[in-house]
Amino acid sequence: MIEENNNVTKNPFDWFNTGTFLLDGGWGTQLQACGLAIGEHPDLWNLSHPEAVLSVAESYVAAGSNVILSNTFGGTRFVLSRHNCADKVEAINRAGVGISIKAAKDKAKVFASVGPSGMMLISGNVTEQELYDAFLEQVTAIGKENPDGIIIETMSDPAEASIAVKAAKTTGLPVAVSMVFDSGKNKDRTMMGTTPEQAVSILTEAGADIIGANCGQGIDGFIPICKRMRAVTKLPIWMKANAGLPQVVEGKTIYSQSPEEFAEKTKLLIEAGANFIGGCCGTTPNFIAAMRKFI
């Protein structure tokens, strides 16, 4: 599925247009197992605990991921400023992408993670230009490490996602974008009320190369969303579900689904048209290893 020799792939977009690829799982719980405190910003660990971040990345490569992400989800200046690190956008993002590339070696591709800014356009506390500038700053740093792509993920607002896609496209890298569908009676809308069909339309218009969904709910709810996206696009589809519904036990968030239960559903996601499949919150390298036999 993955070219043995990267030099063979002349067009950076060719390799993912056919086939099914195994993504990674959640990073937060894995980093917490390494000592990351609740409330501590994971991205800061790219500089302070690079060996721990590397161990998480390597655990997903060892589990069989064809594509791993990077520990740069909260790497915009807006998020970093809440941790008094707005001046470290470049250092934190370059370190995070570099760590994943080191872990991936020639065994996996790396899509650098870009998460929401935490700013709400509709509240008026940020302008489109300010958002664009913040995403551009992050993706420019990411681009300097030359990953295989960028994944803009866990997006609730299609307007913010579109701005991030446009910024990411300036790097020349393939750009994936993934929305959270966690609202509405059937959990088939984003927090802003966007349907899967509307998301495909808006994000295709913005220039996305891969479109999908992540987080927000367990894998059962992803199957109809994937089918609906597949019905309206020929682009590769990216799907990363949570490990069931979260329960809070003694102050800790626990996800109930087993790796085997989750992996069984992988078949249904492939039938529904998914091309990139992994896990989000609550999923671990054990989940990815269990999914390996279906992908």
What residue type is 267 in one-letter code?
K
Q: Which of 281, 288, 289, 291 binds Zn ion (CB under 5 A)?
A: 281
Phi/psi for 265 (5° steps) reads -75, -15
Sole residue written with tokens 């500089």: 47
| H helix runs in 106-182, sequence order | 128-143, 158-169
Spatial neighbors of 93 by CB under 8 A, at least 6 apart, are 43, 46, 72, 75, 112, 138, 141, 142, 145
Q: Which is nearer to Zn ion, 96 or 116 (CB)?
A: 116
Binding span for Zn ion by CB under 5 A among 81-89, 117-125, 141-149, 279-287: 279-287
> Contacts with Zn ion in 187-216 (CB under 5 A)?
215
Tell me: does residue 241 bind Zn ion (CB under 5 A). no
Tell me: does residue 69 bind Zn ion (CB under 5 A). no
In the complex, minimum distance from the CB of residue 217 to Zn ion, in angstroms, rounded to a whole number: 10
Q: What phi-psi label fits residue 254: left (phi over 0), alpha (psi between -120 and 50 degrees) or beta?
A: beta
Binding span for Zn ion by CB under 5 A among 37-45, 111-119, 256-264, 272-280: 272-280
In the complex, minimum distance from the CB of residue 64 to Zn ion, in angstroms, rounded to a whole number: 20
Rounded (5°) CA angle 62-66-72: 85
3 state SS of 87: helix
In the complex, minimum distance from the CB of residue 8 to Zn ion, in angstroms, rounded to a whole number: 34
Q: Which of 44, 175, 280, 291 binds Zn ion (CB under 5 A)?
A: 280
In the complex, minimum distance from the CB of residue 242 to Zn ion, in angstroms, rounded to a whole number: 6
Q: Are strands 175-179 and 276-279 parallel, antiparallel or unpaired?
A: unpaired
Tokens of 113: 């993670």
Q: Which is nearer to Zn ion, 192 or 281 (CB)?
A: 281
**Binding residues for Zn ion (CB under 5 A):** 215, 280-281
